[in-house]
Structure 1
């Protein structure tokens, strides 16, 4: 006897807003299965407002309200039973972030939790990440967002340490990251990985997923440092318009992908990693799992 129900996760990032709807399939005596049913991504770049001006613009407030209203209707149409909406660094740092969350709660009837970097890392760790981790290996996990990057070290199957830094693609695009922040990340990565003989990277985020897709590699196979360096150099030979027309990148991906690649390459260089594995996981997946296992609160529809 199967029991199937739908859960939803809303991820309000600095570069885009996502709605993930997943089927939870329960069967007696077997672990629950999580299958993606629908994923909607809307490129509302909140970070460009917040990291430059300190608040979300009137135009993006309207777009956010429209998007959340549409997400609510989609969840209703899909017969979602419960959801959780999480906002990360852009909403967290916006002077009017809490005010916008209240407006969305009132007008769209969607409740938003504004979470910090540590909670974000913990939710991501609740994903299928451990199924990609071999217990006899050491990994540096790197999740690149628009406003921040979350790093975690896994050794012998366990999380050793995690840290969030304010280095993200939208911040870099707007020249909002100081050299000292880069040096801080470099020192941290070298310190937490120096005692291990060999470290592999695990990368998550829309940009590395896109690069992995372009590479044509089979799922589970890594990208090499050499491949990523070559692709990084290739990207820089095209201007923004050419990246859209000739490399077939979306307009909201074409300007940030270079910055994302730089973060992954830097992490590989400082940890000595020669390979980066790219499982298709992210904050939305972690929210679904966390809601199912009751490690975070959720809202019933």
Structure 2
């Protein structure tokens, strides 16, 4: 692989499909990752899957058009290698195998259907690689449209990880099961009781919007009281006001409320008072993964 090259990651999520293009610069002492382009298309595949069990023909056509456009963008940026991953919605769709096969035949794009555990580890490893000499204990909470991935981190190591079928799109459609919330609560309580002064890390598009609303810097602490104030502010606003006053996209203005609720519950169950947002997500994890494991990336042709 060249000392300077471009890698790309496509994350097919339950709420949106994202393309991240990153420049990788390698010298004798360091590797520098620089984001070049991030494109997001709000397909909401989870709306179909979580209510009907499969992805509709209409959504499939949109997905194919999105991936075709992303491939052109990667070619224009002269991307060397890329990887496409699909998460909760595709994991649960009854027709996912056929969709993956059809997209490969039509577009020559391979889709890796990753497990919730692999998703969680990919995300947390980016944080660990970006931070040095971590002194706190952390609960990494990545909230997606269909699932929430948890990683407990102590002494620079991931000590436990778990994925739950609790997500923003799933919650909006009132199909998150009570047992999922119960297991979520118990997992956090049981795994965090051995660790003191836990800091909750928020990951995902909603966490980034919370950071913007808070007017804090990346990795600057947002207290649980401040997060509760943000929650009250957002819930007090109409859908229209969230779009115009908070400058949220229409597909973000509804899901941000269940997302904040998940983050707040994570803080309460872990007895944490501090919340930080590093502005990293699954696509970043995929970029780092194919950088370290070339055999798992797909050459762009």
Please state which band the TM-score falls in when normalised by the shorter chain: over 0.9
Tell me how far 1:136 sits from its aligned partner: 2.6
CA deviation vs aligned residue, 1:220-252 (integer Å, no higher than 9, x gap): 311110111011111111222222233221000
Q: Tell me how far apart the structure 2 counterparts of residues 296 and 234 of structure 1 sit (CA, whole Å).
A: 47
Query: Which residue does 1:67 correspond to in 2?
Result: 66
CA deviation vs aligned residue, 1:114-138 (integer Å, no higher than 9, x gap): 1110111121133143433653311
The question of whether the paired residues in 2 share the 8 Å contact of 1:290 and 1:296 is answered with no
Tell me how far 1:164 sits from its aligned partner: 0.4
Question: How many residue pairs align between the two structures?
Answer: 299
Q: Tell me how far apart the structure 2 counterparts of residues 92 and 295 of structure 1 sit (CA, whole Å).
A: 24
Q: Tell me how far apart the structure 1 counterparts of residues 127 and 3 of structure 2 sit (CA, whole Å).
A: 21
Q: Does 2:55 match 1:56?
A: yes
Q: Does 2:4 match 1:7?
A: no
Q: Tell me how far apart the structure 1 counterparts of residues 195 and 76 of structure 2 sit (CA, whole Å).
A: 50
Runs of 4+ in 1 over 6 A off after TM superposition: none
Q: Which runs of 5 or more residues in structure 1 are unaligned?
A: none
The question of whether the paired residues in 1 share the 8 Å contact of 2:231 and 2:257 is answered with yes
Give 3-state SS (helix, strand or coil) of 1:236's partner.
Answer: helix
Query: Which residue does 2:243 correspond to in 1?
Result: 244
Give 3-state SS (helix, strand or coil) of 2:4's partner.
Answer: strand
Q: Does 2:178 match 1:160?
A: no
Query: Which residue does 2:291 correspond to in 1?
Result: 292
Tell me how far 1:277 sits from its aligned partner: 1.1
Within a 5 Å distance, the mapping from 1:11-50 to structure 2 comes to 11-27=11-27, 29-50=28-49
Query: Which residue does 2:123 correspond to in 1?
Result: 124
Query: Which residue does 1:187 correspond to in 2?
Result: 186
The question of whether the paired residues in 2 share the 8 Å contact of 1:169 and 1:256 is answered with yes
Root mean square deviation of aligned Cα: 1.4
Query: Which residue does 1:277 correspond to in 2?
Result: 276
The question of whether the paired residues in 1 share the 8 Å contact of 2:11 and 2:85 is answered with yes
Tell me how far 1:295 sits from its aligned partner: 7.5
Q: Tell me how far apart the structure 1 counterparts of residues 147 and 18 of structure 2 sit (CA, whole Å).
A: 17
Query: Which residue does 2:148 correspond to in 1?
Result: 149
Residues 11/135 of structure 1: CA separation in 2 closer, same or farther (3 Å cut): same
Q: Which runs of 5 or more residues in structure 2 are unaligned?
A: none
Tell me how far 1:180 sits from its aligned partner: 2.1
Give 3-state SS (helix, strand or coil) of 1:98's partner.
Answer: helix
The question of whether the paired residues in 1 share the 8 Å contact of 2:218 and 2:279 is answered with no
Q: Does 2:251 match 1:255?
A: no
Tell me how far 1:95 sits from its aligned partner: 0.9
Residues 116/161 of structure 1: CA separation in 2 closer, same or farther (3 Å cut): same
The question of whether the paired residues in 2 share the 8 Å contact of 1:139 and 1:200 is answered with yes
Residues 195/133 of structure 1: CA separation in 2 closer, same or farther (3 Å cut): farther
Q: Tell me how far apart the structure 1 counterparts of residues 179 and 21 of structure 2 sit (CA, whole Å).
A: 40
Tell me how far 1:39 sits from its aligned partner: 0.6
CA deviation vs aligned residue, 1:249-278 (integer Å, no higher than 9, x gap): 100000100000000000000101111111
Tell me how far 1:296 sits from its aligned partner: 6.5
Give 3-state SS (helix, strand or coil) of 2:3's partner.
Answer: strand
- When the two structures are superposed, what TM-score results if normalisation uses the length of structure 1? 0.96
State which drifts further: 42-51 or 98-107: 98-107
Residues 89/159 of structure 1: CA separation in 2 closer, same or farther (3 Å cut): same
